[in-house]
Amino acid sequence: MAWVQYDDARIGWLDGDTIADVTDSDPVATRIARCPDPMIALIEAWDDDRRSVEAAVAAAPKVPATSVKLRAPIVRPTKIVGAPANYVKHQQEMKSPVSIAELGMFLKAPSSVIGPGDSIVLPFADRRTDHEGEVAIVIGRRCRNVAAEDAMPYVFAYTCCLDITVRGTEDRSTRKSYDTFAPIGPSLVMPSEIGDPEFLHLRCAVNGEVRQDESTSALIYSIPRLVEYTSAVMTLEPGDVIATGTPAGVGPLVPGDTVTVTVDRVGELTVDVVAGWDQS
């Protein structure tokens, strides 16, 4: 069971094959007008008045999940924060002398978000662009200076993501912010469904071949530590996305590829890859 965004800015609760459409319900609709993204309105409503949202789910019109086009669950987060070199084996494969402890976090443009079934557009025919399969968390409540031991109540949900990256010398914020470089989804799965986030298994496959296969237990900075570190720098807002870092096995994408990120208990996200240049 999880939250989804679909069709033209609809949001709902996905339970099995059915979506409860809460877009027009009281606790959500009144907030949508002043939020950049209807899912942010839902997250705020959940934090403010969970019982009303639960009542709205119970009373909502039900839609078959197969009849909708799923979008990214968050279309316009106020920010996407990324974790560089946060798995030792990935640090080693990149031959990086430093890890997240020395690098800190980076920002990825919110305009790079796409959703399930969308396409990654490769910007260069002559430069390597890699898949980085990752577990992402979504913030549920505005926060600043949160200690790691207090961090988990600020996590609204988990989702799959790809931190698509052009290799090269430019700053990460340039190489990771091209349009379509942040596929996320397919849904926002709440912590009650997940259990311990220190043991989430992540796989990333290209054309069915598994290239990345690792557990979040191998993270250098754990999920609570990432919230602590990031919130010591910037105020985290409802709907903000923290991509927790990619394990070893990153590799180049070419036009025609299909990429699937699977995270146990969180879901499976599939996107394809197209050329951003004229191939004729």
Which residues of this protein are in contact with Mn ion, per CB under 5 A? Answer: 132, 163, 246
Q: Which residue is nearest to Mn ion (CB)?
A: 163
Q: Which residue carries 């890890």 as its tokens?
A: 99
Q: Are 172 and 147 in contact (CB under 8 A)?
A: no
- Name the minimum Å distance from CB 110 to Mn ion: 16
- Name the minimum Å distance from CB 243 to Mn ion: 6
Q: Are 176 and 164 in contact (CB under 8 A)?
A: yes
- Name the minimum Å distance from CB 75 to Mn ion: 20
Which pair of structure tokens corresponds to residue 118?
């969308």
Q: Which of 131, 163, 67, 118 is nearest to 271 (CA)?
A: 118
d(CA 246, CA 264): 15
4 DSSP β-pair partners? 12
Nearer to Mn ion among residue 115 and residue 133 (C-beta): 133
Q: Are 217 and 57 in contact (CB under 8 A)?
A: no
- Name the minimum Å distance from CB 182 to Mn ion: 10
Q: Which residue carries 């609204």 as its tokens?
A: 156
- Name the minimum Å distance from CB 254 to Mn ion: 20
Nearer to Mn ion among residue 25 and residue 244 (C-beta): 244
Neighbour-count burial of 164, counting CB atoms closer than 10 A to its CB (0-12 exposed, 13-18 middle, 19+ buried): buried
Nearer to Mn ion among residue 12 and residue 110 (C-beta): 110
Q: Which of 115, 113, 135 is nearest to 204 (CA)?
A: 135
Nearer to Mn ion among residue 9 and residue 98 (C-beta): 98
15 DSSP β-pair partners? 18
Distance of CA 129 to the CA centre of its chain: 19
3-state secondary structure of 267: strand
- Name the minimum Å distance from CB 61 to Mn ion: 38
- Name the minimum Å distance from CB 10 to Mn ion: 30
Nearer to Mn ion among residue 224 and residue 247 (C-beta): 247
d(CA 131, CA 127): 13
- Name the minimum Å distance from CB 86 to Mn ion: 8
d(CA 59, CA 242): 32
